[in-house]
Structure 1
């Protein structure tokens, strides 16, 4: 079982990962709140040559499902640029949120836009790494909140070899999905889980709110999270509050 953490501000993430004794770490390749193009990482060689796996999380404003050209087009470009930067670091994938539409917009068009992302990139030779689509916590018009929406999304993109899936436990809980047996239900749709974002939730079930908690201090039974991690057969990344990550890692290792 490969377990790690998201390292948010670390200039030298490999050194931090070694200090934590983790098997995988997640990082950004650019400011997650901007459209800035990724720049070469000062520790790229070290990251690439390390035995510790790395996965990249895309910037937050990306929404490839959007029907607004002014958002969708820069989103596509950002996914391409950040996937290239992830490949240069030897990453196992680029995590991208499912995105959402506005009230009154046709969801079918949003799913079609996801398909177009992969179709257009195929003409350029594909992405440098798999695109790991992450389920999201809230919004009635989210592309990947419910199992029904994930199934519609997978009908659109599931035949592309570079389309992968990232399951966030806090998002699933906040989105109203029972975590018991969820791995099996997701795999019945996607056929795969490539990464787990293993997070507890500060808020109640089906709240629609995305506020992470450490494994033993949230609303979700920590034993359920540990069991989900076991059954998923995928690496897990903690996105929990930084001051509790060491205790979260110890809890997982002990279980």
Structure 2
């Protein structure tokens, strides 16, 4: 089980070393912007690293929306990030599930996800596993509650798609962590990555506010149980930089009985 953290993108491998992390996740461009990622000068070094790399797509991407001025650029930007992630040897590209607007037909949003994967296939494919992440808020979200996630997976049935389970998002989104892994796998058949985060917000608050594992409103034992059940790589997206994330990684490694497997 590889354990790592979301880090600054300037020198991800140095950030991994500082945290004794076996994996890192980072952005390839402004997470709140629409610019496509540029080729990285350190691409060869990243590809050769023993540290596992994950890329998080920008938050602005929403391929589910019925708004053409957002949906179409979102498809193009998602594909650009996937291709850039593949160029550095990333193991996956994480993207939020998105949402439709109030009053819109959710079925169209799920079908827009299908069209996104069809668009990528027509363009030569993503080139890297795309991991859809559950989200914390929004009554019209495509991946907040498990009933919506089931409809999304039904729409994507003809395409290979992965899943990233965020513990903060699940808790704040109103899904009990106890037994959650089994309920998710009954829908998706897989969990490819766990975002191990505590939550500043209360259960079902809809608040996407991460906390360190020893703080927040989630019993840390539940986070550990989710990780054990998922049996997937882990990334903490917790505050506190090197010290805060390093402590969270050490906590998980101690509780899970794992050892560092990279220099």
- Aligned-residue offset at 1:119: 1.1
State the distance in 1 between where 2:183 and 2:158 align.
19
Structure 1 spans left out of the alignment, 5+ residues = none
- Match for 2:230 among 229, 232, 250? 232
Q: Is the 8 A contact 1:31 1:59 kept in 2?
A: yes
| Residue equivalent to 1:251 | 251
5 Å-filtered alignment, 1:26-175, equals 26-161=25-160, 163-175=161-173
Paired residues in the alignment total 253
When the two chains are superposed, the root-mean-square deviation of aligned CA atoms in Å is 0.9
2:179 to 174, 181, 193: 181
**In 1, Cα distance between the equivalents of 2:15 and 2:195?**
19
CA contact (8 A) 1:158 1:190 kept: no
* TM-score (normalised: structure 1): 0.97
Judged with a 3 Å threshold, the aligned counterparts in structure 2 of structure 1 residues 10 and 126 are, in CA distance, closer, same or farther, namely closer
User: SS of the residue aligned with 1:95?
Assistant: strand
- Structure 2: distance between partners of 1:17 and 1:250: 13
Change (3 A) 1:242 1:44: farther
Residues 118-144 of structure 1 deviation map (CA, whole Å, 9 limit, x = unaligned): 112112221111110000001110011
Deviations along 1:36-56, one digit per CA (max 9) or x if unpaired, are 111112321111110110010
Q: Which residue of 2 aligns with 1:2?
A: 2
Equivalent pair of 1:3/1:236 in contact (CA under 8 Å) = yes
Per the alignment, residue 12 of structure 1 pairs with 11
- Are 1:26 and 1:237, in contact at CA under 8 Å, matched by a contact in 2? yes
Instruction: Determine if contact 2:9/2:28 at 8 Å carries over to the other structure.
Output: no
The CA distance in 1 between the partners of 2:46 and 2:80, in whole Å, is 18
Alpha carbons 1:14, 1:46 under 8 Å: kept: no
Q: Cα deviation per residue 1:106-161 (whole Å; 9 max; x = unaligned)?
A: 00000000000111211222111111000000111001100000000000113312
Contact 2:65 2:100 in 1 (8 A): yes
Q: Which has the higher contact order (CA 8 A, sep 6+)?
A: 2
Please report how far the alpha carbon of residue 23 of structure 1 lies from its aligned counterpart in structure 2 after TM superposition: 1.1
Q: Report the counterpart of residue 202 of structure 1 in structure 2.
A: 200
Separation in 2, partners of 1:47, 1:226: 29
Moved over 3 A (4+): none
